[in-house]
């Protein structure tokens, strides 16, 4: 494996400098390279304005026979919502895995929704990604490259508009791929490059308790969102199988610890499913469960998926009122762009179906 090529997008700023230095190039040139990769989002690093030793290094190391490459996932398909404000990219990675990245632009704010894994091992019953199973973690570079892709698409469509927000809410469970995700977010938030502010980045987890505690312990500056979906162990376990491993009581306890250690507000996500978790009694139990936590509850209408015969709830407004009356900010996440299969993993699942039927 000595000649396996590595991605420059997997390196931190410091590691990029170390790499240049090891190859006899002034590590200060890392700044120019980083800038080209992340500020400008260059797809080729061969630049006339680079110092000659750097140009020689790039030619030797990123060309044929070199040790490094740039992550450039291939666009397989793009779908736009009818209002044009949501664009979903289906991207193919080097080994053929296909992932989804979504660019959303509402109220003049542009947000990218990024995948952390190909597939997901957590198996939430209502989730298209969970239904397809786990393929592998994404490398940091593959996560960063999604942001570069979305930013390029935004620049072409709306010159001058900045990509300011990022949510780790695409395919996969970010805290299952903790190291890859945190490494990527460090690059993405670096002000010398992409520069999305840490407070504009949200990590959404199904409730991987060790990951939540580790974020608190390491003082990770990002926002935390926890997908709850159930107010009792039974209610939650029916939708989220990993709550067998990290039961609701343990998860809420971890959230309390996180809140105390970081002083940060936690976002709780709740996909509303008719008859499963949308009763007024459930909302009241949820409010009691969250007592004492600086919590914001985000209600998500269920997007239908092939592998789950649940239905969207019509009782969302009552649910919301109960939480608000209990003192919790509670909003509906607009899944605008439902017409482009905006649920995570849904486009990939649909494409598979189409391919299967055309192969017949
Ligand atoms: N794995 C992480 C992040 C990706 S999913 C997590 O579970 O938090 C992002 C959000 O979309 C989660 O809150 C998830 O529960 C929700 N979601 C997944 N499939 C959905 C569907 N079919 N309808 C509505 N929300 C869904
Ligand atoms: Fe994985 Fe999140 Fe989907 Fe659950 S909801 S299967 S954790 S991507």
Segment 68-81 mean pLDDT: 95
* 346, pLDDT greater than 70: no
241-280 residue pLDDT tens = 999 999 999 999 999 999 999 999 999 999 999 999 999 9
Q: Give me the pLDDT at residue 337, please.
A: 45
Dihedrals phi, psi of 242, to nearest 5 degrees? -70, -5
CA 169–ligand 1 middle distance (angstroms): 7
Shared domain for 121 and 24, answered yes or no, is no
The verdict on 56 and 99 lying in the same domain is no
Is 354 inside any structural domain?
Answer: no
Is the model's pLDDT at 336 over the cut of 60?
no
Residue 352 lies in a domain: no
Query: Which one is catalytic: 100, 142, 173, 269?
Result: 100
- Same domain flag for 263 and 322: yes
- The predicted pLDDT at position 186 comes to 98
Check whether residue 133 and residue 167 sit in a common domain. Answer: yes
81 and 60, same structural domain? no
Whether 125 is covered by a domain: the verdict is yes
Q: Are residues 112 and 194 in the same domain?
A: yes
Closest approach atom of ligand 1 to CA 270: 13
Residue-level pLDDT at 338: 44
Instruction: Answer yes or no: do 124 and 212 share one domain.
Output: yes
Q: Is 281 a catalytic residue?
A: no
* Listed residue (10, 5, 4, 8) closest to 20, CA to CA: 8
In the chain, the number of structural domains is 2
Residues 201 and 323 in one domain: yes
Mean pLDDT, residues 312-340 taken together: 86
Q: Which residues line ligand 2 (CB under 6 A)?
A: 120, 122-124, 127, 129-130, 172-173, 206, 227, 344
pLDDT digits (tens, 9 = 90+) for 132-160: 999 999 999 999 999 999 999 999 999 98
Last residue of a domain, one of 69, 85, 109: 69
The model's confidence at residue 359, banded by pLDDT at 50, 70 and 90, is low
pLDDT in tens, 82-133: 888 899 999 999 999 999 999 999 878 999 999 999 999 999 999 999 999 9
Which mutation among 125, 169, 170 tests ligand 1's pocket best, with the greatest number of atoms within 8 A of CB? 169
52 located within any domain: yes
In short, whether 19's Cβ falls inside 6 Å of ligand 1 is no
Q: Does residue 267 belong to any structural domain of this protein?
A: yes
Which residue out of 77, 186, 344, 355 is catalytically annotated?
344
Q: Considering the chain, what percentage of its residues have pLDDT values greater than 70?
A: 92
Q: Whose CA is nearest to atom 4 of ligand 2?
A: 124
For the question of residue 344 being annotated catalytic, the response is yes
Task: Classify residue 351: in a domain, yes or no.
Answer: no
Residues 108 and 150 in one domain: yes
For residue 63, what are the domain limits?
6-69
Q: State the pLDDT at residue 29.
A: 97
| CATH number of the structural domain spanning residue 294 | 3.20.20.70
pTM for the full model? Answer: 0.94
Query: What is the pLDDT averaged over residues 324-331?
Result: 98
In this structure, are 205 and 230 located in the same domain? yes
Give residue-wise pLDDT tens across range 81-95. 888 889 999 999 999
Domain co-membership, 250 together with 311: yes
Hey, which of 135, 168, 172 would you mutate to test ligand 2's pocket, going by the most ligand atoms within 8 Å of its Cβ?
A: 172
Final residue before a domain boundary, out of 22, 42, 69: 69
305 in the same domain as 286: yes
């Amino acid at each position: 494996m000595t000649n396996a090529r590595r991605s420059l997008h997997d390196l931190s700023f410091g590691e990029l400098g170390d790499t240049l230095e090891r190859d006899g190039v002034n590590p200060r040139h890392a700044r120019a390279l980083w800038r080209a990769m992340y500020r400008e989002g260059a797809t080729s690093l061969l630049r006339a304005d680079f110092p000659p030793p750097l140009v020689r290094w790039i030619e030797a190391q990123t060309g044929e026979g070199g040790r490094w490459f740039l992550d450039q996932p291939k666009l397989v398909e793009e779908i736009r919502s009818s209002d044009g404000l949501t664009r979903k990219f289906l991207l193919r990675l080097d080994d053929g895995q296909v992932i989804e990245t979504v660019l959303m632009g509402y109220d003049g704010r542009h947000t990218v929704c990024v995948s952390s894994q190909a597939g997901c091992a957590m198996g939430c019953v209502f989730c298209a990604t969970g239904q397809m199973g786990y393929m592998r973690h994404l490398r940091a570079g593959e996560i960063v490259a999604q942001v570069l892709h979305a930013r390029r698409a935004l620049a072409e469509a709306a010159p001058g508009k900045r990509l300011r927000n990022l949510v780790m809410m695409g395919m996969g469970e970010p805290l299952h791929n903790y190291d890859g995700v945190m490494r990527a977010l460090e690059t993405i938030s670096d002000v010398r490059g992409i520069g999305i502010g840490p407070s504009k980045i949200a990590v959404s987890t199904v409730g991987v308790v060790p990951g939540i505690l580790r974020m608190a312990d390491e003082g990770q500056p990002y926002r935390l969102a926890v997908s709850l979906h159930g107010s009792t162990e039974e209610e939650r376990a029916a939708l989220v199988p990993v709550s067998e491993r990290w039961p609701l009581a343990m998860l809420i306890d971890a959230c309390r610890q996180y809140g105390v250690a970081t002083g940060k507000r936690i976002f709780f996500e709740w996909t509303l499913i008719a008859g499963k978790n949308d009763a007024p009694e459930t909302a009241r139990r949820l409010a009691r469960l969250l007592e004492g936590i600086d919590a914001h509850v985000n209600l998500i209408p269920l997007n239908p998926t092939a592998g789950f015969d649940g239905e969207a709830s019509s009782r969302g407004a009552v649910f919301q009122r109960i939480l608000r009356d209990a003192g919790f900010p509670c909003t509906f996440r607009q899944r605008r762009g439902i017409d482009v299969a905006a649920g995570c993993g849904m486009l990939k699942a649909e494409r598979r179906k189409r391919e299967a039927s055309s192969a017949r």
